Amino acid sequence: MPVRATQQYVETLGYSVSDARVTQQYVELLTDGSRVGTHFLVFSEDATYIIERTLPVSQTLTLTEPVDVRGPLYMDVGQNLNLDQFDTQYKNPTHEFPGNVLDLLDTASIGTTISVAQMLELVQEGRRITRIQNVLSLVQSVLVGKGGLVAQNLELVEVLARQGIFVRGAAQSMSLTQSATYEFPDDTCVKKRYTPFVGAGTGEYTPPPTTAPTLATGTLTLTYPFASPSSTLVLRNPEFTDRDMLNFNRINRKTRGGTLVVFADPNWPKTQVLSVQVDNLSHTQRDALITFLATSLGKEIGLLDWEGRQWRGLIVTPNLLITHVKRGDRSIEFDFQGALA
């Protein structure tokens, strides 16, 4: 026969000047050690204060539930500590914010090699008279006015501490990245001007520059060599329908599941090709162009385009076509491969 002993103390510690009554209750339950122990301890603390509105109200509930296991025990031992704390305000003053702080620490340890479970539960319960809403959220936001200094930190820390050496290894993985972007969709010029909205990222990619390139007006000018030009050829600006082509080496693969995977190493070559057509060249310009091509064939030249941008590269169409359209009117079309200097 298991021995069961129950002992209860009810102690009145005193009375306050108001209608509050403070009591302390201590209950101890002993179970037979030869049986499987099931130990329930229900402890509640309820205090009702009738005080002035200006006085602070503090209520502290400390609950400790220890479980000691002695000797070999080949079964799981679980220890759950559930702690709920809620505030109910029937008259919510407009100038105060009801605070509800729940600190919860749940630990479990055992000296044997059977499984140990540790569980932390957070339960938030909201009660109001007209509307019941239960929300548990982790939100961090910042709202500042113009010119304010913005600092926003969100920290999630996951720590695994090893307090012993066991046969099983310990592993911990936590992947957390953050990025930020923004846009001003109401700006009427956002679809016309150079306005990339560049925030902050992981650093894997180099974002585009936020300042617009400076464009000017110029005349198509070819120079050779690029470093210290000794030969210069000035042509008319090309016709419309010029093409600026960006060519990237990428690998496109489709998996068995139908997912498109695109990979490219940033060090793989990227080519930029300008394809232009120049009309109305004179006989003299044609001769100068042929001479320039013969001199700079396969070598790096400079190209100053009609927007004042300096390129360096080479002409990749050595057999370009010079068409004699009519008297004093010759047309050429060539491709230039290079990069902005």
Partner 1 sequence: MKIQAPVPNIETTTVLPSPKFSDSQSPQNEVDVKQSMNGTLYSYVKSNARHQLRYDLTLSRMKALELRAFIQSYYRAKIRLTNHLGEVWDGYLTSNPFEFNGAARGVTTITLEFEGILVQPVSPSQCE
252 binds partner 1 (CB under 8 A): yes
Which residue lies nearer to partner 1 by CB, 256 or 326?
256
Q: Is 339 in the site for partner 1 (CB under 8 A)?
A: no
The minimum distance between CB 158 and partner 1, in angstroms, equals 20
Within 140-179, the residues that bind partner 1 by CB under 8 A are: 177-179
Q: Which amino acid is at 191?
A: K
Q: Does 241 bind partner 1 (CB under 8 A)?
A: yes
Q: If binding is defined by CB under 8 A, does position 244 make contact with partner 1? A: yes
- Paired with 278 in beta bridges are 332
- Give the DSSP letter string of 290-330: HHHHHHHTTS-EEEE-TTS-EEEEEES-TT-EEEEEETTEE
CB 242 within 8 A of CB 276: yes
The contacts of residue 323 (CB under 8 Å, 6+ apart) are 330, 331, 332
Dihedral sign for Cα atoms in the order 311, 317, 321, 322 = positive
Residue 106 as a binder of partner 1 (CB under 8 A): the answer is no
Closest to 230 (Cα-Cα) out of 281, 285, 292? 292
As measured in angstroms, the least distance from the Cβ of 250 to partner 1 is 6
Span from 89-97, 133-141, 208-216, 279-287 in contact with partner 1 (CB under 8 A):
208-216
Task: Tell whether residue 253 is a contact of partner 1 (CB under 8 A).
Answer: no
Q: How many residues bind partner 1 (CB under 8 A)?
A: 52
CA nearest to 171, candidates 152, 158, 184? 158
> In whole angstroms, how far apart are CA 26 and each of 7, 57, 64, 68, 72?
8, 24, 12, 19, 30
Shortest separation between residue 340's beta carbon and partner 1, angstroms: 11
Taking contact as CB under 8 A, which single stretch among the options 10-18, 81-89, 97-105, 180-188 is the one that binds partner 1? 180-188
For partner 1, the binding residues (CB under 8 A) are 177-183, 185, 190-202, 204-209, 212-213, 215, 240-248, 250, 252, 254, 257-260, 262-264, 266, 270, 273
